[in-house]
Amino acid sequence: MDVLNPYPTLVLDETKAKTNIQVMAQKVSKSGIAFRPHFKTHQSREIGNWFNRYNIDGITVSSLDMAKYFAEDGWQSITIAFPVNILEAPEINKLSASIDLRILVVDKSTITKLDQAISHSLGVYIELDPDYARSGVSFRDFELIKELISAIEGSQHLALKGFYCHAGHSYRSRSSEQIMEMAIPIIKQLEKLKAHFPYPICYGDTPSCSVLEDFGSIDQLSPGNFVFYDWIQTQIGSCIPDQVAVAMYCPVVAKYTERKELLIHGGAVHFSKDFDTLENGSLYFGQVVEQNQSGWSSPLEGCYLKSISQEHGIVSCTDKFFENTRIGDHVAILPIHSCLTADLMGGYMTLQGNLQPDHFSGQKFK
């Protein structure tokens, strides 16, 4: 790496991220599906523009503010993949005057209230719950779905865009086979649903989208994390470590010989506190990778981010890695959950040392 910051830095391997985008875009295109990629992971206008070379139908974001951020950058069709917050109706109405804005609805009373609160046409997806139990209407409850469709069709300003379905329980998988086992019955149920309700279906968790080859009757895909991937995705079975496009570069500030641990500047305000679990049941917060001339390559077995507090990180090491690492070096660590790390870091540095601060939560970036 050409340039190293003296402080914790999110480093992006642009080639890996561009390849991740290309692979997903080609898969989507080959399947004859529309691509509405989620921008909540990268949150970056620069990376957003990398999608322009592919045939995309629009984009997906996770909040109204994020929609505004990307609308300002010229994006014309944006889904806020979150059940509409009725308190935000005035702002939603304002934004929908200038772009093809789409939101999610999950209950009838909100549909009625929303319709009364707005004056511009607004696209809505009915959010379906594929037994994940986070949000949405059960994708088996055809009666309720029918009621919601009627409410939308009877409304003055709402235009039904179809169904939105996020199978977030794919994150509980620990192999690509497990992802398939979870996803295939969902795809089948969505086919049944479509036989009853012939509206477009948008689907989108990164594990399913990475592993599935046959998307059945799905019409649109909206994964987001795949642009960067992260260490948990390697454990879920979505990708291999070499596909992870971001690493945190953290300065080593102390070495503790007896416990073979490094103290780094890099804590919960940088990584977030998402974790994975070691075989012995202990939590860990990131995976150390081997640095090379062009960035980083393989995970270093036995070297991981053992604990984090606000600014401190403790890296557990093998004897060899401990010996080879000096105070003042940087340790490269794949974050457990790149969405939260990227949100906290608010920008990134490329392997060539270029800073890219134009990021939705980018104000902490320096």
Q: Which is nearer to a second copy, 135 or 217 (CB)?
A: 135
Instruction: Give me the least distance between CB of 109 and a second copy, in Å please.
Output: 7
How far apart, in Å, do the first and last CA atoms of the chain sit?
A: 18
In the complex, the smallest distance separating the C-beta of residue 4 from a second copy, rounded to whole angstroms, is 8
> Which residues, including other chains, have CB under 8 Å from residue 274's CB and lie 6 or more apart?
232, 285, 335, 336, 337, 340
- Match 């050409």 to its residue by tokens: 2
Interface residue with a second copy among 31, 83, 241, 318 (CB under 8 A) is 83
By CB under 8 A, the residues from 151 to 190 that bind a second copy are 168
Q: Which is nearer to a second copy, 290 or 311 (CB)?
A: 311
As a whole number of angstroms, the distance between CA 49 and CA 258 comes to 49
CA distance 202 to 21: 18
Phi-psi region of 290 (alpha: psi -120 to 50; beta: other; left: phi over 0): beta
Q: How far apart are CA 215 and CA 43, in angstroms?
A: 26
* Interaction of residue 40 with a second copy, rule CB under 8 A: yes
Cα–Cα–Cα angle for 41, 245, 13, rounded to 5 degrees: 120
> Can you read off the two tokens belonging to residue 362?
């980018």
Minimum Å distance from CB 148 to a second copy? Answer: 12
Instruction: Evaluate whether 22 touches 343 at the Cβ level (below 8 Å).
Output: no
Q: How far apart, in whole angstroms, are the C-alpha atoms of residue 216 and residue 222?
A: 15
Stretch near a second copy under the rule CB under 8 A, chosen from 71-79, 127-135, 182-190, 240-248: 127-135
Q: Which of residues 335-354 bind a second copy (CB under 8 A)?
A: 339-340, 343-344, 346
32 vs 281, which CB is nearer to a second copy?
281
Q: How many residues bind a second copy (CB under 8 A)?
A: 56
| Binding mask of the shown chain, residues 253 to 282, with x at each position contacting a second copy by CB under 8 A | xxxx--x---x-x--xx--xxxx-------
Site residues for a second copy per CB under 8 A: 6-7, 40, 62-65, 82-88, 91, 106-107, 109-110, 113, 133-135, 168, 251, 253-256, 259, 263, 265, 268-269, 272-275, 307, 309-312, 314, 327-328, 339-340, 343-344, 346, 361-364, 366
